[in-house]
Amino acid sequence: MNYIRYWQSSGESERTSIRVSESHEQIAKKGVYSGGTAPYGYTYIKSGEVNKMGKELLKLVPYEKELVIVRDIFNMVYEWGYGSNRIAKHLNEKGAPTRHGGRWSTATINTMLRSPIYKGYMAYGKRSVKSGSSLMINREEWILPEKPNKNLIFGPENV
């Protein structure tokens, strides 16, 4: 008897997981930010829209306090030809604040430069969690909206 209950609940769990994944894909294709911590240079504001559950949705917008630093990072790459190591060193020497008061690292700069969000695209499906470990998914398989959100672009779209 317990085996039947386990089998039923296992099937329902899988169906719920599929529905959630499909919902996230639809949100990504619309270009709506689906949550989590806002990337550096962005913040959330109330969008004025309400979801099916009656919860007010948030909208991702550039954050003025961090905007100058993000622009500096992209300028250092595309105008000065700096690499991520040199950018991190420059920001630390200049005393540019990180969100949590730490130091800028090469890894942080690399993540920012590779992130589609700074080109106006909110991606879904960049990682897959199988067997408890997180795996990167090929960029070609990411789910992106058809058009970038022009209000979120910091770097060149075609890079």
Residues in the chain: 159
Tell me, what's the pLDDT at 159? 40
**What integer best gives the mean pLDDT of the chain?**
77
Give the mean pLDDT of 77-90.
95
Distance CA 124, CA 143 (A): 5
Distance CA 115, CA 60 (A): 15
105 pLDDT more than 70: yes
Beta bridge partners of 58: 46
Domain boundaries, given as residue ranges, for the chain: 2-35+64-152
Residue with tokens 């998914």, as numbered in its chain: 137
pTM for this entry: 0.68
**Confidence band for 77, pLDDT divided at 50, 70 and 90:** very high
Output the CA angle 103-60-134, nearest 5 degrees.
60
**Confidence band for 47, pLDDT divided at 50, 70 and 90:** confident
**Which of 18, 21, 36 shows the shortest CA–CA distance to 122?**
36
